[in-house]
Amino acid sequence: MKYTNQRVKFDGVHWYVSVGIEAKQEAVELSDESIGIDVGIKNLAVCSNIDTPFKNINKSKKVKKLEKKLRRLQRKVSNKYEKNKEGRSYVKTSNIVKLERNIRKLYKRLDNIREDNRHKITAAIAKTKPSRIVMENLNVSGMMKNKLSLSEREFRCECCGTIMDRDKNASVNLSRYKAS
């Protein structure tokens, strides 16, 4: 084994050491399956080959509770800054430093939860060993700002009468897409 690209990183809370390791890899045989992934607001992703959609981690109780705690700490530190204002400058007291450290820790914890969720989802998709993955390219945050109507949750085919979840239908259509 050969070690490469050693790095030391500090994120404001923790120190990290990362090392690259060169190792021989065996070729993986891919299936001839094509996967379509529909990214959404209600669910994070709906895959054409997996029956259950991947839930949006931001809507879980754990993340909502941490975000509420974060908002509360941010208000608290903002109030402390306003109380310690001297003219146009702010005095950074030890309590402000402690609160800011707690805010950084909360941001890191939320980031770790979201990153862990992404890794689990991508691992589940990669385990199916598809030959290609087709994913839509949408601005989801822009869609949320427009207040899209999501009441129409089912797709009904006029020809054959098939009824399917709207997101599942989109992922199946994406899996059938052929690039020109």
The pLDDT tens digits along the chain (180 residues) read 788 899 999 987 789 999 999 888 888 888 888 889 888 777 888 888 888 889 999 999 999 999 999 999 999 999 999 998 888 888 889 999 999 999 999 999 999 999 999 999 999 988 888 888 888 877 766 766 666 766 667 878 888 888 888 888 888 888 887 765
The per-residue pLDDT for 166 is: 80
- Report the chain's terminal Cα–Cα distance, integer Å: 42
Specify the pLDDT at position 99. Answer: 96
**Residue 150 confidence (pLDDT):** 61
Phi, psi of 50 (to 5 degrees): -115, 130
Residue 46 counted as domain residue: yes
Give the pLDDT confidence score for residue 133 in this predicted structure. 87
State pTM to two decimals. 0.75
The answer to the question of residue 156 being in a domain is yes
Supply the pLDDT for residue 8: 95
Residue 112 in domain? no
Tally of structural domains, the chain: 1
Neighbours of 116 (CB within 10 A): 11
Alpha-carbon distance of 160 to 20, in angstroms, equals: 54
**Where in the sequence is the domain holding 136, given as residue range(s)?**
32-50+132-180
Q: What is the pLDDT of residue 180?
A: 54
Residue 1 lies inside a defined structural domain of this protein: no
Q: Is residue 103 part of a domain?
A: no
The whole-number pLDDT of residue 33 equals 84
Residues 120 and 6: their CA atoms lie apart, in Å, by 26
What pLDDT is stored for residue 144 in this prediction?
Answer: 64
Please check whether residue 44 lies inside any domain of the structure.
yes
Strand partners, 164: 155
In a domain, 88, yes or no: no
Task: Check residue 118 and give its pLDDT.
Answer: 93
